[in-house]
Structure 1
Amino acid sequence: MDPLAGLLDGPRARGAFLLRVAVDPPWSIRVEDRAPLSLVAVVHGEAHLSAAGTGPQRLGPGDVALLRGPQPYTFADSPATPVQVVIGPERPGTPGQHCSTVDGRPLADSMRLGVRTWGTNPQGSVRLLVGTYCLGTEVGRRILSALPPAVVLTAGMWRSPLVGVLDEEIDRDEPGQEVVLDRLLDLLLISAVRAWFSRPDPDAPAWYRAQGDPVVGPALRLLHEEPARPWTVADLAERTGVSRATLARRFAEVVGEPPMAYLTGWRLALAADLLREPEVTVTAAARRVGYATPFALSAAFKRRYGVSPQQHRRAHVPAPDPVPQPVP
């Protein structure tokens, strides 16, 4: 499993919030939900994105924007249109994002247009697909931190039928539909991230560029596919067909750190995500990522993240509901 594939594994592939927005001009929506990641695709019409660190950008049909939280951003028919709707984070006791006017008047019910559709007109001249990932993960953080706060991929920069497929599926209400939509959104995200990193510009992360290196690429794939194996540099060099010195030197030059340091970071990122799963114990996580004992994992984990695996787990796994007691 390479780092991009890691986005599709386990908890990071579940729980995304997905919505079609259908509106007519003038319109302006300010998003302040502080979500780790949002994906916005234009299906019809055009929209202007204003986000931190970038000037207004026009998006047309087939264009996709990736927005890294927690910074807010605005979509509008024109940068000059005043904000009309504010999307805030979920409030206690109220599932879903909070939608209101600028002065705080609730809008969620009045702008609901049907199954996963929201706006002012079901046949609006502007239609957007909005996918919001509310659950941040360590593997995802390693990847998304390499992106700027706002990424815009125009239709001319990549080819993908997934926007159209997601638009067709989003308002269906059939058994298993949430899973179908999660998978489609994940595929669209992976395609967009891969297209961005594959541009000729030199700002792709080192680990992504390294996958095309004839020496480092095979070594990275081995580390990703078998993180629990008791790797040594000599073993890795033998499997890739080069000398130990050549692999160590080339890996550090291309990736920016030695092979075993990279492996440690990858193992701990995987462990951090595994520990978000209620059924995965610290002992099981240690075994699956290559630590002989939970104590060894705990020591390395605390050095990297500043908390123990148990503390990390308590912070990210909800406590089980209390068992109802019989009424006397």
Structure 2
Amino acid sequence: MTGVGEENKGGVSRASGDGGDALTEALTEVLGGARARGGLFHRAVLAPPWGVRVQDGTPLSVACMMRGEGWVRHSEDPEPVRMVPGDVVVLRGPAPYVLADDPATEPGLLIQPGDCCTTPDGQDMCEELALGVRTWGRDPDDPVVLLSGNYQLHGDLSARLLDVLPPVLVLREGEWDAALLPLVATEIVKDAPGQQMVLDRLLDLLLVSVLRAWFARPEAWAPAWYRAQSDPVVGVALRLLHEQPGHGWTVAGLAAKAGVSRAALARRFTELVGEPPMAYLARWRIDLAARLLREPGATLGAVARRVGYADGFALSTAFKRLRGVSPSAYRAQLAPDTAPR
């Protein structure tokens, strides 16, 4: 399994003082990009042998075992992961994965885009397997109960959050706040006014709780930009970019603030972060712009000025280059209750 429990790929520096504060702020910024809108939750009741292949293309999923046990096989990670009650698994999409009673079990059900459940030969099974609100299976007394939730839109997650995650991340019951599971289990089967909003916030809380626990582990892998926060030179530049994204930064200006030459900063920044300072700033600005575009009433011009672009046209060009869609197309993906009016 990639991530937890494997080799330490640099780890997370436990710097004190300003360095430690920077690490905390960086994690807050990354997790702050997670905000589900229309997230899907399911409660599956299963009996061996069972196998489900999830190929819906969603960017991120969370699965929790409530009763019984099972295994996860991700197409980008060759090692199966065992799940028992209290365990939680985060799965990075859009690559497919299989949940099954045994690593060798072939899936008999496929979860397709649009939350459609079919057999491998294409037979629709949604109606046949319905057991109640957000619950499916054949018998409510079957021995395995698996909860799952997923983010539907890439815009609900920052690019840096997805960069942080391995294909499969697992935490055992004693390694995270598993007390959340009973609350999630209770809310999944409710059909009350505003329930989708409750579930969206629970999905965010679930993910943040898991990632916070994961980052606290000394053996947890952390991306280069996260580790670089504690560097005495690059950390200064990163904090300036995070705190003042709308400023007209240049490599020379950042180098002066960090107390080194322009060439030295450019070389060290690229070495530690994995990309040059201006490329990092461009991505950071677009991540912030995507978040601001969710706010009701936000205009493209106002967002552009806040993140350092001269006008809406310049922001639109950069947004499409980095996100693959224009700001207007991105907004069209937003849920009606969060889209600007």
Where on the TM-score scale, by shorter chain, does this alignment land: which range?
0.7 to 0.9
Kept in 2: contact 1:36–1:68 (CA 8 A):
yes
More deviation in 177-186 or 277-286?
Answer: 277-286
Distance 1:54 1:277, change over 3 A: farther
Kept in 2: contact 1:3–1:143 (CA 8 A):
no
* Pair 1:61-2:77 in alignment: no
User: Given the alignment, which residue of 79, 94, 99 partners 1:70?
Assistant: 94
* Pair 1:248-2:265 in alignment: yes
Kept in 1: contact 2:44–2:147 (CA 8 A):
yes
Kept in 2: contact 1:100–1:107 (CA 8 A):
yes
Which whole-Å CA distance do the structure 2 matches of 1:172 and 1:305 have between them? 36
User: 2:49 — aligned with what?
Assistant: 26
Deviations, residues 193-213 of structure 1 (Å, cap 9, x unaligned): 343344434741012223444
* Pair 1:178-2:193 in alignment: no
User: 2:329 — aligned with what?
Assistant: 314
User: What is the TM-score of this pair, normalised by structure 1?
Assistant: 0.78
User: Given the alignment, which residue of 161, 165, 172 partners 1:154?
Assistant: 172
Kept in 2: contact 1:267–1:289 (CA 8 A):
yes
* Pair 1:294-2:309 in alignment: no
SS of residue paired to 1:110: helix
Which whole-Å CA distance do the structure 2 matches of 1:123 and 1:190 have between them? 31
Kept in 2: contact 1:139–1:269 (CA 8 A):
no
Which whole-Å CA distance do the structure 2 matches of 1:205 and 1:105 have between them? 42
Cα displacement (A) at 1:238: 8.4
Kept in 2: contact 1:146–1:204 (CA 8 A):
yes
* Count of residues in Structure 1 that have an aligned counterpart in Structure 2: 309
Cα displacement (A) at 1:260: 4.1
User: 2:118 — aligned with what?
Assistant: 100
* Pair 1:208-2:223 in alignment: no
Which whole-Å CA distance do the structure 2 matches of 1:303 and 1:26 have between them? 46
More deviation in 292-301 or 68-77?
Answer: 292-301
Which whole-Å CA distance do the structure 2 matches of 1:48 and 1:299 have between them? 44
User: Given the alignment, which residue of 150, 155, 165 partners 1:137?
Assistant: 155
Kept in 2: contact 1:276–1:317 (CA 8 A):
no
The answer for unaligned runs of 5 or more in structure 2 is 1-24, 337-341
Cα displacement (A) at 1:273: 5.3
* Pair 1:115-2:161 in alignment: no
Cα displacement (A) at 1:316: 6.0
* Pair 1:86-2:103 in alignment: no
Kept in 1: contact 2:33–2:161 (CA 8 A):
no
Deviations, residues 141-173 of structure 1 (Å, cap 9, x unaligned): 332133222222223443443233212222223
Which residue identity lines up with residue 171 of structure 1 in the other structure? V
SS of residue paired to 2:90: strand
Kept in 2: contact 1:18–1:129 (CA 8 A):
yes
Which whole-Å CA distance do the structure 2 matches of 1:124 and 1:88 have between them? 24
Kept in 1: contact 2:68–2:84 (CA 8 A):
yes
Q: Which has the higher contact order (CA 8 A, sep 6+)?
A: 2
Which whole-Å CA distance do the structure 1 matches of 2:219 and 2:322 have between them? 31
The answer for unaligned runs of 5 or more in structure 1 is 91-96, 322-328
Cα displacement (A) at 1:18: 0.9
Deviations, residues 29-60 of structure 1 (Å, cap 9, x unaligned): 11121211111111221111122132322111
User: What is the TM-score of this pair, normalised by structure 2?
Assistant: 0.76
User: 2:246 — aligned with what?
Assistant: 228
SS of residue paired to 1:267: helix
Kept in 2: contact 1:40–1:128 (CA 8 A):
yes
Cα displacement (A) at 1:225: 4.0
